[in-house]
Chains A and B, each alone.
Chain A
Amino acid sequence: MRRFVDLHLRQPAAVDELEGMLRFAAELGYSGVAVASERKPPEELRRLCRELGIDLISRVDLRPRSARDLTASLRRVRRRFEVVAVDCRSKAVARQAAKDHRVDLLDFPASPSARAKVWFDRQEASLASGANCAHEINTSDFLRLGPTAGAKLLSIIRREVENAERHGVPVVLSSGADSRLLMREPRALAALLDLVGVGEEEGLAMVSSVPWRMVEVNRGKLAKGFIAPGVRVVEPDAC
């Protein structure tokens, strides 16, 4: 049975709405959710998620102004969060993020005019394939837009998905919701990718196995005894 995960819930405007969103995520059939925050999730949220039977994943969204700013931020947050996403607002930041092994997810602007300038182009995809970072699609980006702007954004996302496929870069599908009304059940999220030419099975993997694999690898790296990929201390007392 598939385990679905929404790797991107944004902090809602009202603080108490987050609890409702987590309850709704459990109702929609998610096994895991990540709430983007500058701080690690508080214990009360963790307790609520345990009660609901969902896995709360810690995630931070970085919004660096320059490549140097990005590397400094990564040094600060990488060991504290299970998922590190970078909001690529300029080409220089996008290129640096795609090259850096410490970045998990690449996010691009939601506005079609800004996305036309900074997007997941072929060079970006080539760099990302070498660094093992994934491209994230947030469905709320196009759900918020009107028909004309929505069509422009979908056209760019279609080309981004093609670039990712060509270079073997994993694509993660998230809601990017900051309210209950922008949340959708996992199969509906996957169905929305019909609009950018992604098949059903592939779409479902983007909201289940692909993000889970990323989270599991990162949890392994953050666990005690991790030395390097494939190398960890099994019995510390035996040395």
Chain B
Amino acid sequence: MPVKRVRRRYLRFRISSERRHRGEEVADAVQKGVLRLYGVHGLSQIAPVLIEFDENRQTGILRCSHLHLRRMRAALAYITSINGTAASIHVPRISGTLRALRSK
């Protein structure tokens, strides 16, 4: 039986905050952000995964389902704190492949 390949979107993001954050804190904030807005069902559909995070530059790449990209963006925009510190997450670029995102 043919299986349809899962399509994904990769989001480059940047954190604005009063202090630097670790990758685990960011991954936790993203998961909680999605959970807060869309619940367990939404989290399972959006399926956010932190691919990489540069702690010095406070930038990273997230992966999510291409069908729920808008919800992913909304969840990221809704985040106002990371681990108790005021913060915001901005997405300057989105791509369908990791290679394209890393090349620019």
Contact = CB atoms under 8 A, between A and B. Distances in A.
B50 interface: no
B90 A191 contact: no
Contact of A181 (B16, B36, B71, B74): B16
Contact of B88 (A184, A187, A191): A184
Interface string A183-205: 11101110110110000100000
Nearest to A29: B92
B70 A194 contact: yes
Given A147-B36, A194-B71, A181 B87 contact: yes
A67 to B, nearest CB: 36
A180 interface: yes
Nearest to B90: A185
A184 B90 contact: yes
B78 to A, nearest CB: 7
Contact of A195 (B17, B37, B76, B92): B37
A191 B16 contact: no
A195 B70 CA distance: 10
B73 interface: yes
A191 B86 contact: no
A207 to B, nearest CB: 12
A222 interface: no
A143 B80 contact: yes
B98 interface: no
Nearest to B76: A188
A180 B16 contact: yes
Interface string B56-78: 00000000000000110110111
Contacts of B36: 147
A191 B80 contact: no
Given A143-B80, A181-B16, A181-B80, A195 B74 contact: yes
Nearest to A140: B80
B91 A200 contact: no
A143 B37 CA distance: 12
B82 to A, nearest CB: 11
Contact of B90 (A28, A143, A144, A194): A28
Given A143-B78, A191-B74, A192-B77, A185 B37 contact: no
17 contacts: A139-B77, A147-B36, A181-B87, A184-B88, A185-B90, A187-B73, A187-B91, A188-B73, A188-B76, A191-B70, A191-B73, A192-B77, A192-B78, A194-B71, A194-B74, A195-B74, A200-B70
